[in-house]
Structures are given as C-alpha cells and as structure tokens.
Amino acid sequence: MALAFVTKTVLMFARLKVSAAAIAGGFFYFEDVFAQSNVNWFTVLELYIAQNHLNGTIPLYLQRAKHDSPFSEKHQVISRISLSMKFDYRSCIQQSLSTAVKAKSICIEEERKALASFKQDFTDPSDSTTDKEWDELAYNKSCLGRKINPSLLSLKHLHYLDLSCSNFEHIHIPNFFEKLQTLSWIFNLISLKRLDLNSNSFDAPEELGNLKSLEYLDLSQLGLKDSGVPRYLDLSDNQMNRSIPQSLGQLSKLLIRLDLFWNSWEGNITEAHFINLTNLKRLSIGPDLDDREKPMSLIFNVSYDWVPPFKLFQIVITNCNVGPSFGVWLQSQTELADIFFYRTGISDSIPEEWLLKLSSQLENLDLSYSQFRGRFSSNKWVRFPNLDTISLAHNQFEGPVPLWSTNASYFDLESNLFSGPIPSNFDKLMPKLKEMYLSENHLNGTIPPSICNMQDLKIISLRSNHFFGKFPHAWSSESHIRIVDAAYNNLFGNIPTSMGELNSLEILKLNNNNFGGQIPDSLHNCSVLKSIDLGGNKLSESIPPWIGRSKSIDLSSNFLEGEIPQEICSLTVLGTLNLSRNQLTSNIPSIVGSTLLLKKSWRYAYFQFFDDTKDKVTLAIALKVARLQRKFHHV
C-alpha cells in the first residue's frame, strides 16, 4: 500500500517528516511507502518516521540522501537517526543494517563498520529470545538489552540521537557520550537525575525542561550566550516539597517568566532568590489552591523596604505567607495587569495611591482568602477600563461597596465587613457584570431596582446581609439570570410575579425572609428551575402542583395549607423535599406508600414533613399496608 504524497519525486528537502500524523490507520511496508522507482532522494538531510506502524526492511536507497560534507558525492553521511516508537525492529533493524554493511559504494567504510557493531547490541530474536518474548519486548517498545556500543564514535557527523522507548533500566549512559562532538540533540532521557554540562562552549538547550526527573544540573562555566539562555522557566505542577533554591537568583537577566506554581514548597524566599532577575515579568509561586486547611509552609522573608530589580506584569502568589504588611516590594510593582494574592497572610490595608497607579492597565484583581483590611476610597472618578475580575472575598475589608467604574464580568466581595447600601446606579458602574457575590457582609438598605436592568447578569448572591424592603419586581425575559440567592435578609412583601419571566432561572433561594402571600403561579414558566427554597417565610395558601418539577424543594416553616399535590408524589427526579412546620393536612396521598418503598430519598423527605410522633406512626402504618398490598398483588 503506497501513500500518494510520497510517490512523487522529492527534491531539495532539508527535512521530511512522515510521523504518526501522516501515516495512521494501517500498517505499511517500507517498500510500499518509499517506492524506490518513484522517489528521487536528492537532498534529504533529516528523516522522521517515528510513531508509525512501519515494518519490513529499511530500503538501501534511503541512504542516498546527500549531505554537504568534505567527502565525495559517492559517500553519504549519517547525521540524524530517529526510528523510535511502534517500529518493527525485528524485521527492519537486523536486515537493513546488514544490507548497509554490504553496500560498500553507499556508506563510508568506517561508518559502515560502526553500524555493524552497533547492530550487535540490539536484542536479537533469532538468539535465545523466543518469538513470544520478542513480542513482549516490542509491545513494551523496548529494543536494546545489552549496552550502547561505543562504535557510535565513528559516526563523525552524528548530531541527532533518539534513544526513546529503549530498555535502559540497568544500563548506565556511557562515558564516551562526551566525545560525540557533533551531537546536538538527544531525546527522552526522562529518568535522568544528574546532568553536569560545566566547562563547555555551547548554549543551554530549552529541551532541558523535558528532563522531569532531574535533581542536579550544573551549567557553570559554559560561556553562555544570550541566545542560548532560557527565558521561561516553568516548574509548575510537580511534586516538589523542598525549599526553593537560592540559585534561581543567579539565572539569566533575560529570564522573563518564572513559574513555581502547584508545588508543595517550604522554607523561606529571600531577596537572594531574585537578585539577578532584572527582566522578570511573570512570577507564579505557591502550592495547590486546595491546601487552605494546611499551614503555610512557604514564607516570603524579605525586608519591608526591599525594592526588587524587576517590574512585573503578572504576579500569582497562593498559600504563601507574604504578610503581615503590604511591603514596599509590592508597592513598587506599578505595571501589573494581573494580581492574584490567594491566602497570603497579609493583614494590611491596600495603599490607595498604588491602586490608582494600576487603574489604567489592571485586568484581574484577586485578593481572596487573605486577611486584608481597611476600606477603599469613595472617589467616584476611579476608573478601571480593562478590569475583568474583581475578587476581594474572605477578607476583612470594611466601608461602603467600592464605587469603581469598570467593565468587569466578575465581582466578588463575599465574607467581608462591607456596610451600607448597594449603589443605586450599580448597573451603570458595571454594565457588563455576569456574576455578583455580595453575601455575608453587613450591607443594608433596599436592593436597587436597577439590578433588573443588568441583562448579562447570571448570578446574584446577596445572602446573609441586612437588606430590607421589597424585592425588585421589574424582571424581564431578556434577563439571563440563572441563580438568585437573597436568603437570610429582612425582605418582605410578595414574591414578584415578574420572576416568572426569568426563562434561565435554575436556582431560587429566598428563604429566611419575611415574604408573604402565595407562591406566584408565574414561576411555572421557569421551565429549568431545579432548586427552590422559600422556607422560613410567611407564605400562605396551597402548594402549587407545578412546583414538583424541581429536584430540590424546601417550603418549610411557612403557613401553607391543604394537601400535598399528587403531582409531587408521582415524580421520579425529586431529591430533597422539606414541607415541615406548615399547616398542611396530615392526610397522606394515596400513592405515597409505593413511592416511599421505591425511593429511599423520599423516605427522608416525607419524614421531614411529619414533625410529631403521631404522624410518624401514621406513616409507618401506611408503609406496612403498602408492603402487604404489594405482596398480595403478586400472589
């Protein structure tokens, strides 16, 4: 089977890559894919055929690709070898290398002998290894089993060596590797722990980042040029649980990004860690974000008035003790666009002048889960035109809600000490807001009707404040609100019928307020309503039958009357039902027995409905009768 694109004449190629993306979905023979009669190999310098299902012999004519060298045109120079991954070494390596040895007119004599010697240390299925054992080795992608033959030294122009997927478990990398003077690329030494490259004269390769098991790296006295020094160092998402080495501060002045995130660092970070990083723009340090319960084991131990040598564009510090003060080193960072301080232990206030300097370029501000305190300026002229995310949650900020004019989509002030009302022109200050979290503060006053005008708003959380008055009632079908949570306030009046216009509403939590009247029938238009909690109010009249479409229903502690609608009892999706502490009749719907037998979660729901022992006994009798009925029904 031949591939169309390789059956044409190949002229002046410096690199030909026919890897997994090009040959997939079948098995091919070298004789088919690289047909000798159809391919004219003039100047192919690099050939990639890794990660395929090729088998057969390596054609002799593949060695006719010419390479500029001090030798004559009749001699071909082997400079690049890559045959790794899913390659049938059984049929190709053994035969093709033997063929190459016989082709005196093709290879340089010295290189031909080197290949023959190199061949001897491949695992040979014709020896003591059975076919079954060979198949196991091939399945494990292993092809070497003895040693790496020093005959490689005879390949004077070898600059690319791919030893991936080979069985080196008990084989040391030989010392002669240092004599491969033209070698510039070596691949997949994923278990390498120690690498000493000192006193050489080459540039440090970026591929050093692929050595995931590396514990010791010496790049001293390399005479590194700027072009060879890495500008990005990313050690994120590893299992590092030691102190951060101070030698990081000796990295190149060209280093732009340092990412030490998602590790379990411990110890101190000092000024020495950054002494030479004058061009650093992005800094990320910290353990897993989910480690809130663990003590902070990484500490910024720098003097208060230290001025770092860099001006950052982005800073991310999580679960790291930076505080208690907001030091000069932070105040000196006036070019920041992204600020993420998550659980930093800073108990200081935010300098207003620093924040004003950042206003024009700031895009993300996250100071959550720390101990920041103080209040923000009431300056109505402060504008953050590019600010998208504001998260000040779980701190000790106080004073009025910040009056910032911004196009932010995310605004989170949850769990602070903010007080006073929500600004009446909130819809004008943040017209593009999608998520607003103001819960667990000391906010008061009425909820401004202008919130109904924020058509992009999807989540509004106002729970656990001191809001009073009526809930906004000018909702429209153009709104995209999915979650409304105004629980644990002092709201009163009727639940607005206009809330039935909220076609996207999924969760409605107005519990523990003083709402009265009936549950509005208009809510049956909210076809995707999954959870409704109206408990702890003064609602009266009967339970509407449509409410049973929700998976979670809490109408407890109201003044509801009548019977439980049959529609609720016949549902199969209900997960939580709480109708306790109402004035409902004690008559159990006729189908409740069989429903409770089939659904354990309903047993809990109905026991919540019955508050006293008498009702529980009645329910137990009903269950027993239902079991007997089922028993006799099957007789």
pLDDT in tens, 468-491: 999 999 998 889 999 999 999 999
pLDDT in tens, 187-235: 556 666 666 666 555 555 555 656 666 666 655 544 444 444 455 554 5
Query: DSSP characters for 420-467?
Result: EPPPTTHHHHSTT--EEE--SSEEEEPPPGGGGG-TT--EEE--SSEE
Task: Tell me the mean pLDDT in the region 261-279.
Answer: 76
Coil, helix or strand at residue 325:
coil
Whole-number pLDDT of residue 102: 45
Question: Hey, where are the domains in the chain?
Answer: 1-188
Contact 365, 389 (CB under 8 A): yes
- Of the pLDDT bands very low, low, confident and very high (cuts 50, 70, 90), residue 293 is low
For the chain, the maximum distance between any two Cα atoms, rounded to a whole number of angstroms, is 106
How many whole angstroms from its chain centre is CA 347? 29
Whole-number pLDDT of residue 364: 93
Whole-number pLDDT of residue 314: 93
Burial of 569: CB neighbours in 10 Å, binned 0-12, 13-18, 19+: buried
Distance CA 314, CA 283 (A): 6
Contact 261, 292 (CB under 8 A): no
pLDDT in tens, 142-181: 454 556 666 666 666 665 665 555 555 555 666 666 566 5
How many whole angstroms from its chain centre is CA 330? 27
Task: Tell me the mean pLDDT in the region 315-320.
Answer: 88
How many whole angstroms from its chain centre is CA 198? 37
Distance CA 500, CA 475 (A): 8
Task: Look at residues 112, 147, 142 and name the one whose alpha carbon lies nearest to residue 125.
Answer: 142
Q: What is the pairing mode between strands 298-300 and 314-318? A: unpaired
pLDDT in tens, 532-575: 999 999 999 999 988 878 888 899 999 999 888 877 765 566 67
**What's the pTM value of the predicted model, to 2 decimals?**
0.62
The residue with greater pLDDT, 39 or 207, is 207
Task: Tell me the mean pLDDT in the region 374-379.
Answer: 78
The residue with greater pLDDT, 370 or 243, is 370
Contact 533, 508 (CB under 8 A): yes
Please give the mean pLDDT across all residues of the chain. Answer: 70
Q: CA 464, 469, 474 angle in degrees (round to 5)?
A: 100
Strands laid side by side in the 185-187 sheet: 80-81, 160-162, 185-187
CA dihedral sign, ordered 536, 539, 540, 544: negative
Name the token pair of 522. 């208009």
